[in-house]
Structure 1
Amino acid sequence: MTTFAQPDLVRVQLEPTGSWQRPAAGGAEVTCRPEGSGLRVGVAATGGVSRAHLRWRRPLAAGSLVLGDAWERSYGELAWQSSPRAEQMHPWMVLVHGPAGSWGAGVDVRAGAFAGWTVDAEGVSLWLDVRAGADPVVLGGRELEAATVRWIAGNDGPFAAQCALAGALCTDPLPTGPLVGANNWYYAYGRDFDADAVVRDARMIADLVGDHPVRPFEVVDDGWSIDGTADGRQSSGGPWDRGAGSFADMAEVAARIAGEGVRPGLWFRPLQSRREPPAGALRPWEGGWALDPSHPATLETVTADVRRIRAWGFDLIKHDFSTFEAMGRWGFQMGPRPVPGDIRFFDRARTTAEVLVGFYRAIHEAAGDGIVLGCNVVGHLAAGLVQAQRTGDDTSGRVWERTRRMGVNTLAFRLAQHRRFFTVDADCVASTPATAWARNRQFLDLVARSGTALFVSVDPATRTDAVDADLSAALRLALDGGRPGGVEPIDWLHNATPAVWRCAAETLTYDWIEAETGADPYDRTDATSGQGPLLVGGGGAVPDL
């Protein structure tokens, strides 16, 4: 790891669409203080301030490849670029691999700003969005710790460099053992299941892992709560104080799962309410109301919900949709403006990044010694506050192509964050009549070997002796922690869904493409959440900031 030099240029933008200027000219101050091997960037202002821009002159070697990360989950878009685009924003961290080796730059997790990088032929820029929602943050007399910048370099290959960068940016990941189990979402999709079906799945997963000393989870996903509808749309929101139908007594459901020798887990959507709350409403949303994570009343509600879920007996809490609720966008829609122009937070003295970190911290503290799995969570801001993170968008029990482009891509390009930020969850492996087991079993094998989270979604209609044998072997391997040393993508420099992987001394080749059909760029049949298109844009031009 090397020390970042002082930037060659520093500018600020006071108003969200205003001109860029030197800090002193606008009554703002940007400080860059060495802190160990990093550079701590502080921002202060007498009035409001929206963004800061830091620039380093660092010529890009000819033939270099560039790789960024994603604002929250990735959506199948991560790939090394052989023709770097000067205007493309690379969220949180960026890697450059060239003839002389690899180097990377990033900001520490739980930053005070949404931080993105651009790389061009002449240098590297860091763009810090410090707004409070859509508004300039009003810091008063305090100095904002916007980011701590770090830079790594090495000659051991691009994957080793990515691992080194992730390790440098987070020094306090939450420890957790193997995360393995069942989740019925990808065959039930929140419909036509009850508590008996959940217990049946718990019994299945217990039978498949047998007497393994590490016990798996049964996660009750969406569909257990009392849903409301408005304008024909299902809100799937709170209050989260009881379930519907056979889920009316959630403590009993948790006890029944535990009675099968399996650890209970539960999904919920903390920032969505079916009715307008007395305080803390952000806006009407998805047939209900989105809650404002900057409002004290919202944090009180979410804290009470998490404590209640833990008191029911659920050891794992999967919280979902919070970025979508808070910011009104999926990650693939954020581009260079991660915070949209119509978000008005209650608290305008804290940046959006600070608000989200506070929200994640409230859930972490309320969960106590429970395991928190974040989904649709800004992983770079949640690292150290969640034990596990869904790093990519949904896989599928309906269309294999979705699993290939989402699951394989996120496993390959965000694998370096595993155990350095949190336990990586590339999402469920499905076994359904609609998808070929010949493809799913390969994904099952790779995830199990990797030691990342392995959750399976098994339609009972697909169970055969052969399928059960595949599942049992993979689940037990995952409960062991995967293969020693995990896996590493080999052909990822030129393949967005790598087919060649290294596992210890083995070289493994997977066949992800269904030869009969090929990859369908027009498929939209599995829109089960806010999934993006097959190919998503690179983020727009920096001048549009």
Structure 2
Amino acid sequence: MLRRNFIKLSATGFAAVMYSRLTYATGSGASLINHPDEAWAQVGDQWVKLTGKGGSVFTYRDIKAEVKNSGNAQAVYIQSPAAELQAIKFKWKYQTSTYPKVLGDHWERTYGDMAWKPPGEVVRNPWYVLLHDDKQTACFGVKTGCSTLCWWGVKPDGIELVMDTRSGGVGVKLGQRTLHAADIVTGMSKAGQTPYATLTDFCKVMCTKPRLPKQPVYGINDWYVVYGKNSYQTISDQTAAMAELVTDTNNRPFSVIDDGWQHADDFSIVNDKFKDMHKMADEIKSHGMLPGLWTRPLIARKDDSKSLLAPQIPGRSQQGDELILDPTIPENLARVKRNITLYKQWGYNMVKHDYSSWDIFGRWGMQMKDSFTAPGWKFQDQTKTNAEIINTLYHTIREAAGDMYIIGCNTMSHLSAGVFELNRIGDDTSGKEWPRTKKMGVNTLGFRLPQNKAFYAADGDCVGLTKDVAWDKNKQWLLLLAESGSPLFISAELDILDAEKKTAIKQAFTNAAKVQPNGEPLDWLINPFPEKWSLNGREISFNWD
């Protein structure tokens, strides 16, 4: 350990150790990242170096990046009145080679690829990055709700933060306004603290005002049973059968209707399989459950005016004949608001909205390794960054929802925090094959559970209880979700529910209905699919293979 790289923090009782090259302590003991050693701007796909003035202001022509102290953070403000700005990059000189393990986050959902990795293996670490040397864990991140899409790079001689300011696939036109790009925060493990506990604490630093459910959320979702081939009757049957296994009447479970209820591409009209969504909500309530509804806010109707549509994104796969609404057009946001309000009027207590990141960027999070989207295209309004456009959409949904719970799925994680009560933190599990549930469920929960109750209620997706998935595996996945402190949703084929499965579901519902501490994966430093867990003070070993 190089002694000059560390400094003791004062005051707060943490007695934590911070990077002296990168951080310092204020009188209150809060840690702040030092001013960057270098600053760069990306314009016209080229990086140009900014000139530093006083360590906190960096300029190139009329482009300006300024760093200001803001409580426990360093606030970054950007100006670019003429140039179409694509990004700002900060660099700090620091030897990182002594830290063999690095952990970043994902842009939206995870895709079974979360793990502690060597520093050079991951080029972009979305939102935050942790460095660990088997003794201490250092954290670097940005606060949630920022106005740029931020990622960290770990180099042998330094750490970088890139704040992407693109609008669509081109640079943003800021004009005369100043963009509050991000708030940089740092953290360091306490003496004897595990990396898991350190990340949990750091999530609370990044998100100071999470919007959380009033009670733990649990229940059922029909997707992994029928995969969209649902109806009024299938929902009624599943709700009635599963309601018999509920024990806590003070915290009622949800019955979430997934894709398949809507009329074609219009999410304000019900199809003939359901006929009346208000009546459907009442039917669910009659069985003692709370109704929830899936929607896709940015899908356009085939008869929509072309002036309302987002551009066709070059090279976008799987687009087919889908038409997408441009989220920068006020008329489209008004439609999103009307639809969410309509679901509330129908009597639904929860709305799950999906596909917005795909619809905006034309890429899934796992495809955003080099860039978020194809270059060269733009929305109707180029004066807002992609992060600002997403924030506006999310807040439109939030405002319309009122006291309804909102689950974001395929939503930008860091921008969902503090806005939605729940967030689907991983890609789909499965009611058809166990390996997919292991990949997308176990991995996701192991590496994103620190965000649970700090950003939102972190939904690891469903237990697909079907004849196609081995019960000995699903039984373990059910137990983990039910006792992890995260939301629990079950998709169950009713005709396979024997006495053993019903007993297990009943116990899982009982556990999931009450407040529990977050589970902790004990082997996550070496195992991408943690098998050893601490749940409610006891250690449990799972066999996922």
Taking structure 1 as the reference length, the TM-score comes to: 0.89
* Whole-angstrom CA distance in 2 between matches of 1:445 and 1:210: 16
With 266-275 and 142-151 compared, the bigger mean Cα shift is at 266-275
* Whole-angstrom CA distance in 2 between matches of 1:240 and 1:418: 30
Count of matched residue pairs: 498
In 2 relative to 1, CA 145–406 (structure 1 residues): closer, same or farther, beyond 3 Å?
same
* Whole-angstrom CA distance in 2 between matches of 1:51 and 1:58: 22
User: Is contact 2:311–2:379 with CA below 8 Å preserved after alignment?
Assistant: no
Are 1:261 and 2:285 matched, yes or no? Answer: no
Aligned letter for 1:199? Answer: S
* Whole-angstrom CA distance in 1 between matches of 2:233 and 2:390: 36
Q: Deviations over 1:285-307 (max 9, x none)?
A: 44231111111111001000000
Are 1:497 and 2:525 matched, yes or no? Answer: no
Are 1:9 and 2:38 matched, yes or no? Answer: yes
Matches within 5 A, 1:69-468: 69-81=105-117, 83-85=118-120, 88-155=123-190, 156-176=193-213, 177-191=215-229, 193-227=230-264, 237=265, 239-278=266-305, 279-283=307-311, 285-468=319-502
In 2 relative to 1, CA 89–501 (structure 1 residues): closer, same or farther, beyond 3 Å?
same
Aligned letter for 1:91? Answer: P
Q: Find the residue that maps to 1:314 and give its secondary structure.
A: coil
Are 1:487 and 2:519 matched, yes or no? Answer: yes
* Whole-angstrom CA distance in 1 between matches of 2:453 and 2:122: 32
* Whole-angstrom CA distance in 2 between matches of 1:172 and 1:126: 24
State the shift of 1:225 in Å.
Answer: 1.1
Identity %: 33
User: Is contact 1:14–1:136 with CA below 8 Å preserved after alignment?
Assistant: yes
Aligned letter for 1:188? Answer: V
User: Is contact 1:86–1:120 with CA below 8 Å preserved after alignment?
Assistant: no
Aligned letter for 2:302? Answer: R
Which consecutive segments of 4 or more residues in structure 1 shift more than 3 A? 283-286
Aligned letter for 2:181? Answer: A
User: Is contact 1:74–1:410 with CA below 8 Å preserved after alignment?
Assistant: yes
Q: Find the residue that maps to 1:498 and give its secondary structure.
A: coil
State the shift of 1:87 in Å.
Answer: 6.2
State the shift of 1:342 in Å.
Answer: 4.7
Aligned letter for 2:518? Answer: G
Q: Find the residue that maps to 1:246 and give its secondary structure.
A: coil
Q: Deviations over 1:200-245 (max 9, x none)?
A: 1111221111353210000000011122xxxxxxxxx3x2222111
State the shift of 1:506 in Å.
Answer: 1.3
* Whole-angstrom CA distance in 1 between matches of 2:155 and 2:330: 42
Q: Find the residue that maps to 2:162 and give its secondary structure.
A: strand
CA RMSD of aligned residues (A): 1.4
State the shift of 1:86 in Å.
Answer: 6.7
User: Is contact 2:311–2:378 with CA below 8 Å preserved after alignment?
Assistant: no
Structure 1 residue aligned with 2:100 = 64
* Whole-angstrom CA distance in 1 between matches of 2:300 and 2:506: 39
Q: Flag structure 2 segments of 5+ consecutive residues without an equivalent.
A: 1-29, 51-57, 313-318
Q: 1:39 aligns with which of 66, 70, 74?
A: 74
* Whole-angstrom CA distance in 1 between matches of 2:295 and 2:520: 33
* Whole-angstrom CA distance in 1 between matches of 2:127 and 2:303: 34
Q: Find the residue that maps to 1:138 and give its secondary structure.
A: coil
State the shift of 1:187 in Å.
Answer: 1.3
Aligned letter for 2:110? Answer: S
State the shift of 1:283 in Å.
Answer: 3.8
Q: Deviations over 1:78-122 (max 9, x none)?
A: 1001x2217610000000111440111000111110000011221
* Whole-angstrom CA distance in 1 between matches of 2:477 and 2:462: 10
In 2 relative to 1, CA 276–24 (structure 1 residues): closer, same or farther, beyond 3 Å?
farther
Structure 2 residue aligned with 1:509 = 541
Q: 1:51 aligns with which of 72, 77, 87?
A: 87
State the shift of 1:276 in Å.
Answer: 4.4
